[in-house]
Amino acid sequence: MTRPGSLPADEPTPERYANPLVRGFAATRPAFLSVTLVACLIGVAAAYADGVAVNTLTAAVTVIAALLAHAASNVINDYHDAASGADAGNTRRVFPFTGGSRFIQNGVMSARHTAMLGYGLLAAVIPAGLWLSMVSGPALLLIGLAGLTLGWAYSAPPPHLVARGLGELVIAACWLLVVVGADFVQRGAFAWTPVAAGLSFALLVANLLYINQFPDHDSDAAAGKRTVVVRLGPERAKWGYFGITLIAYAWLVLQVGRDNLPQVCAAAAITITLSLNAARQLREHANEPEALAPAIKLTIGAALAHGLLLAATLAFNWR
């Protein structure tokens, strides 16, 4: 591996991650795993809101398995984006939000070791998933298999779903599956509550992928990665963020209005102020990647705050 002559101060370097354990952990982009933790909290809270007694052991194993799956997907995404050249050619990235972890590009890890780590983490999910399915019910295998398959197919060829403009749908489906799976482990059956609570959160997570595609537009296009933003162009695609936002909050209001969620869950709608602020900034700076960091941070904040409010209002309004 050769190290570039000069790297931005905030990007990873071999010297900074000389310890192999620290290097492997950092390669998973741990800061972004918080959305999966919140998804698990929503799922467990949904079961509790319906009167299910929560098993702390199975809840903890669910969180660990989900975090491993998300970490695996992050690393696998880095590997395949490096193989396609999408990350190497990304000169307009907004690190650490877009352009990958930069571990391969900056000589911190080889592509081979990145692939081994990613697929190793994916394999580590299997024992936990099998145990949870024995405890809660075999149908959990369907949820886990769907999630792992989508996590792999998102980045890896030949499906490479993000390159086919399906990234947002995959992300929304994956995080909804996390919520549904965390609920299923507790109740041992499928229910509507986790879907009612989880979809608005999952759509806000999809918005994070969506806005991250704007700084990556040029390199994605050059690498043949036909995301929605590449297909539409930044000027037209910027309205898609607003559309996803409206659908997410309309879903929440609809579910509360139909009494599928406690009335107090409507408090999660307050995060629309963050989402609309981000939408405004994206509208103004769709072609200026360097100006999008505040909007990306608002998008992360909206998803996390929305999810935490949903989990809290479900947990403290047992019915």
Residue 216 lies in a domain: yes
Per-residue pLDDT for 203 more than 70? yes
Owning domain of residue 124: 20-315
Residue 58: inside a domain: yes
Inside any domain, residue 85: yes
Determine the average pLDDT of the residues in 288-309.
96
Q: How far is CA 215 from the centre of its chain?
A: 18
- The number of domains in the chain is 1
pLDDT band at 317 (very low <50, low <70, confident <90, very high): confident
- Would you place residue 243 in the very low, low, confident or very high pLDDT band (cuts 50, 70, 90)? very high
Q: What is the CATH number of the domain that holds 275?
A: 1.10.600
Q: List all residues 6 or more positions away from 186 whose beta carbon is below 8 Å from its beta carbon.
A: 43, 44, 47, 48, 52, 54, 55, 58, 59, 136
Q: Give me the amino acid identity at 220.
A: D
Dihedral of the CA atoms 269, 271, 277, 279 (nearest 10)? Answer: -70
Asked if 86 and 223 count as a contact pair (C-beta separation under 8 A), the reply is: yes
Token pair in block for residue 99: 């352009």
The fraction of the chain above a pLDDT of 90, given in percent, is 82
pLDDT-based confidence at residue 87 (cuts at 50, 70, 90): confident
240 near 228, Cβ under 8 Å? yes
Q: Does residue 248 register a pLDDT over 60? A: yes
Least Cα distance to 184 among 67, 55, 317 occurs for 55
| Count of other CB atoms within 10 angstroms of residue 58 | 17
pLDDT at 223 over 90: no
Residue 11 belongs to a domain: no
Q: What is the DSSP letter of 171?
A: H
Sign of CA dihedral 181, 186, 187, 193: negative
CB atoms closer than 10 angstroms to residue 272: 19
- The CB density around residue 61, as the number of other CB atoms within 10 Å, is 17
C-alpha span between 202 and 179 (Å, rounded): 9
Q: Fill in the DSSP letter of residue 227.
A: -
pLDDT top residue among 84 and 3: 84
Over residues 218-234, mean pLDDT: 91
Those residues with Cβ within 8 angstroms of residue 69's Cβ, 6 or more apart along the chain or in another chain: 36, 121, 122, 125, 147, 148, 151
pLDDT given for residue 5 in this prediction: 47
Over range 231-247, report the average pLDDT. 96
Residue 220 lies in a domain: yes
Give the confidence band of 308 by pLDDT, cuts at 50, 70, 90.
very high
Report the distance separating Cα 72 and Cα 194, nearest Å.
Answer: 24
Q: Could you count the other beta carbons within 10 Å of the beta carbon of residue 242?
A: 17
Q: What stretch of H or E contains 182?
A: helix 167-187
Whole-number pLDDT of residue 3: 43
Q: Rounded distance, CA 32 to CA 45, Å?
A: 21
pLDDT of residue 8: 63
pLDDT tens digits, 11-63: 899 999 999 999 999 999 999 999 999 999 999 999 999 999 999 999 999 99
Banded model confidence at residue 94, pLDDT cuts 50, 70, 90: confident
DSSP-assigned letters across all residues of 247-308:
HHHHHHHHHHHTTSS-GGGGGGGGGHHHHHHHHHHHHHHTT-GGG-HHHHHHHHHHHHHHHH
Mean of the per-residue pLDDT values of the chain: 93
pTM of the model: 0.93
Note the pLDDT tens digit of each residue in 144-198: 999 999 988 998 889 989 989 999 999 999 999 999 999 999 999 999 999 999 9
pLDDT at 70 over 90: yes
Choice between 82 and 48, residue whose per-residue pLDDT is larger: 48
**DSSP structure class, residue 10:** T
Q: How confident is the model at residue 9 (pLDDT cuts 50, 70, 90)?
A: low
For residue 1, what pLDDT is reported? Answer: 38
Q: What is the token pair recorded at 206? A: 């999809």
Give the Cα separation of 103 and 79 in Å (integer).
10
In whole angstroms, give the CA distance from residue 42 to residue 179: 6
The distance from CA 203 to its chain's CA centroid, rounded to whole angstroms, is: 10
- 9 found inside a domain: no
283 confidence band (pLDDT: 50, 70, 90): very high
* The pLDDT of residue 111 is above 90: yes
